[in-house]
Structure 1
Amino acid sequence: MPYTLFLPDGPGPFPLIVFNHGVSIDPRSQATARPLVLARQMVARGYAVVAPMRRGFAQTQGSYRYNYCVYHRGIDVDGLGTEKDPGMTDETFDLHAFVNEIVGLREVDRSRIVLVSQSGGFAPVLGYMTMPRSGALGYINFVGGGFSYCARKDNLALARQAGAALGQKVKRPGLWIYSRQDSFVSAATYRVMFDRFVSVGGEATLVELNPPIDEGHYMIGEEKAVSTWWPHVEGYLRHLGLPTEVRFVVAGGAR
């Protein structure tokens, strides 16, 4: 999996942010994920930020499998692939393998890892959070979809099912960030999934924002939306015992 790595200009190891990109209509034509707005905020505060490209996207090998509704690959206690537990997609398996490699870098603090997903990258991250991965402290979901539109339309029953199933398995705290003006992910589906997720024991916080942009689905990539979502991310990182103070000078600045 090719990746882009952003690092502070100083000695590590640094806490790690793993950014899991979303899904466009044509994965092959999708641009390489480079979450510059997020990276500026995090690198300025002393984090390493890595953005891998999943299989089938851009110039990667293999093909993308549309696993919105069917989870068919698991990982056993030794971190090996298995077909016995239907708790994980192939994308999650790839993400697991990637993180295992990237934590070997000397710049990375493998004991402090947070995954951040955007849109369709949410499903693999939730799957990843079902695993007993040492050092993975939690996850941040920006406008996550993927569970609610098997037939390319809202499916509240599926959202409830996914929330109930994963809420019992995901044992790390999560922050779910959504926009009230989002033409891709409906409030009905993410709210019903969140409600079921927490009702069965999932630990997560849901925030609904009004970023100052026309399409809220893209707020993680818009500089003028940072002031809307950063206070929530900052509070979440503090909850995990992670740094939030600006420590490094970064092109474009941090807010």
Structure 2
Amino acid sequence: MKTARALVVIVATLAGLASAQTEPSATARAPSDRIPLAVDLQERIERVTVTVKDRWGREQTQAIPVTVYRPAGDGPFPLVVFNHGRTLDRSTQGRSRPEHLARYLVHKGLVVMAPTRLGYGDTYGPFDPEDSGPCERKDHAPAAQAAADQVLATVAYARQHLAFVDAGRWVVMGASMGGNTTLATVRLKPEGLLGGVNFGAGSGGNPVQRPGQPCSPERFGQQWDGPAVNSQAPTLWLYWQNDLYNGAEWPQRWRQAWEQGGGRAEFHALPAVGSDGHGGVFIDMNRWVPLMEPFLAGLGVGRAHVPVRYRPVPDADLGKFDPLPANDTLRQAYAQRFLTAALPRAFAVGDQGAFGVYSGDWAEGRALGLCQRTGQTCRLYAVNHDVVEQLP
């Protein structure tokens, strides 16, 4: 599945080093590895060996890249394993780097590990453990099991090799096929799992030729048939009304099937967002973060999220850019990237000349994050129509 990308964002340094980055949808290609690692999130790459089977029982063992983001300090910190979606062209799907989502979670005191599953990017090849068959007769369970096995391998790796991770308290999250991965992992009731978050899990489809009509939707819910499985971890289900893969009706039926199979689900049908709500995880943080906060609090992980607070500077001239430090690169970015951007918009500056610009969802947090990723201390300079003073 592949959906449209969100708005372009910019980050630069005083020396003028700049790179354009697009936030991926639930299933689009991740940001290029040419983008420098996020210093403030201590971004690093681990190689985790996984063994999986496809739906014909064929087995393969390979090392997959896992992106790690972590808070400052020694920890150990609770863990979130975030799972990406599935593109039509798996060979071009880069390393999973859900940076803005990770920044929100890291600021809550959580480690984030994002596996790039076997069969994508540099492990792309004829072996595809997530091939679930043709649209009219999909077999979802083997693909979901293969993905869940890689989650468990990631947690086992963290338990053995990453002292800053508390692998006895972890949460699984994912979007699209990553949402399927969440549900499959929860069904296994692994040690230490506290809960799961499903962003738009489904059974595939074609948003152009069959918008809102998923593939073999009855079969998707049948994965959970059988005797009720008690004591499963709670799950949060987040879907958008204009999801062009899943539609609005089938996710409700899948939730019912999940609960009939013994699962626990908190379900939210969110209003339409963008051109395709299937990518809501990355383009609608303004709506889903307030739902995530009480869910994670109920699991007993993560401190409360502190929103960015600011107030307008009286009589300040929005068109005159004059923070310190200031140079032609910053002034040009402000004039060309911020002042011409649609609302909502935000511009952040760093203490050594970095800056971040964002127009769209979660604008203040993303602009600050894009500035902070260089490791500098950053503050908001302007939001929408105002020069602002950031509050503690």
Answer yes or no: same fold by TM over 0.5: yes
What SS does the aligned partner of 2:190 have?
coil
CA contact (8 A) 2:101 2:282 kept: yes
Over aligned residue pairs, what C-alpha RMSD do you find? Answer: 2.8
CA contact (8 A) 2:65 2:95 kept: no
Is 1:30 the counterpart of 2:93? The answer is: yes
Deviation for aligned residue 1:147: 7.5
Offset from partner CA, 1:57-80 (integer Å, 9 cap, x none): 01126632213515359xxxxxxx
Summarize the Cα distance change of 1:37–1:211 in structure 2 as closer, same or farther, 3 Å threshold: farther
Is 1:99 the counterpart of 2:155? The answer is: yes
CA contact (8 A) 2:155 2:167 kept: no
| 1:122-133 mapped onto 2 (5 Å cutoff) | 122-133=179-190
Q: Extract structure 1 runs of 4+ deviating beyond 6 A.
A: none
Higher relative CO (Cα under 8 Å, sequence separation at least 6) belongs to 1
Name the structure 1 match of 2:356: none
Q: TM-score, normalised by structure 2?
A: 0.54
Equivalent residue letter for 1:240: L
Deviation for aligned residue 1:2: 0.5
Aligned length, in residue pairs = 235
Equivalent residue letter for 2:245: F
Match of 1:143 among 200, 204, 219: 200
Match of 1:64 among 124, 128, 143: 128
Name the structure 2 match of 1:77: none
What SS does the aligned partner of 2:187 have?
coil
Deviation for aligned residue 1:100: 0.8
What SS does the aligned partner of 2:252 have?
helix
Summarize the Cα distance change of 1:182–1:71 in structure 2 as closer, same or farther, 3 Å threshold: closer
Q: TM-score, normalised by structure 1?
A: 0.81
Name the structure 2 match of 1:84: none
Query: Matches of 2:215 and 2:288 in 1, distance apart?
Result: 26
Equivalent residue letter for 2:183: L
Name the structure 2 match of 1:79: none
Offset from partner CA, 1:1-24 (integer Å, 9 cap, x none): 111111112231111110011000
CA contact (8 A) 1:18 1:49 kept: yes
Name the structure 2 match of 1:214: 275
Summarize the Cα distance change of 1:139–1:165 in structure 2 as closer, same or farther, 3 Å threshold: farther
Name the structure 2 match of 1:159: 220
Query: Matches of 1:133 and 1:100 in 2, distance apart?
Result: 11
Deviation for aligned residue 1:170: 7.5
Query: Matches of 2:181 and 2:82 in 1, distance apart?
Result: 11
Query: Matches of 1:167 and 1:216 in 2, distance apart?
Result: 31
Equivalent residue letter for 2:240: S
Equivalent residue letter for 1:71: A
Match of 1:231 among 265, 272, 290: 290
Is 1:134 the counterpart of 2:191? The answer is: yes
Query: Matches of 2:227 and 2:236 in 1, distance apart?
Result: 15
Equivalent residue letter for 1:245: A
What SS does the aligned partner of 2:141 have?
coil
Q: Identity of aligned pairs, percent?
A: 28
Equivalent residue letter for 1:228: R
Deviation for aligned residue 1:93: 2.0
CA contact (8 A) 2:180 2:198 kept: no
Equivalent residue letter for 2:302: P
Query: Matches of 2:245 and 2:205 in 1, distance apart?
Result: 11
Deviation for aligned residue 1:164: 3.1
| 1:173-192 mapped onto 2 (5 Å cutoff) | 173-192=234-253
Summarize the Cα distance change of 1:61–1:184 in structure 2 as closer, same or farther, 3 Å threshold: closer
What SS does the aligned partner of 2:188 have?
coil
CA contact (8 A) 1:33 1:51 kept: yes
What SS does the aligned partner of 1:89 have?
helix
What SS does the aligned partner of 2:123 have?
coil
Name the structure 2 match of 1:242: 301
